[in-house]
Amino acid sequence: MRSILVLNGPNINMLGIREPAIYGRETYEALLAYIQSAADALGVQVECVQSNSEGALVTAIQQAYGRMDGIVINPAAYTHTSVAILDALKAVALPAVEVHLSAVETREAFRQVSYAGMACEKTITGKGFAGYKEALEYLAQKS
């Protein structure tokens, strides 16, 4: 696999400011640098997109069709609400991995459903930035 879309949903741009006890003190810019160096080490190209809008995330998934080989997605709060993101992932049918910085399974009841996850081959939670690296490694080893 050579090119991977890394998609982050709402409020991920607020990393470093938002709820540091849950999401840590590192910024979104630091996450981007981390993802880039993980991608460089694996020899894959990454395109990183963050949006606070559900429609923009759907469009980014659609635009990956025919252009990218896989998707790493942290849909953030839309994880738990968005059938549109689930349908977009199903539409493009690219191998996808769901990542959450926090251990969503230990959190509120409303975080226990993941629509996007239903279209993902793998879900990684609670590993912070390292979850994105694990997701890239998983996709990179696919043919």
Q: Please give the positions annotated as active site.
A: 23, 100
Please give the Cα distance from 73 to 75 (Å, whole number): 6
How near is the Cβ of 50 to ligand DQA at its closest, in Å?
A: 11
Closest listed residue to residue 53, CA positions, set 12, 15, 18? 12
Q: Is 133 in the site for ligand DQA (CB under 6 A)?
A: no
Minimum CB–partner distance for residue 124 and ligand DQA (Å): 10
Q: 34, 111, 123, 129: which one contacts ligand DQA (CB under 6 A)?
A: 111
| Interface with ligand DQA: number of residues (CB under 6 A) | 10
CA–CA gap between residue 9 and residue 60 (Å, rounded): 11
Helix, strand, or coil here: 34? helix
CB 47 within 8 A of CB 2: no
Residue 100 lies near ligand DQA (rule: CB under 6 A):
yes
**The tokens 């998983």 sit on which residue?**
138
Cβ proximity to ligand DQA: between 2 and 33 the closer is 33
List contacts with ligand DQA (CB under 6 A): 11, 74, 76-77, 79, 100-102, 104, 111
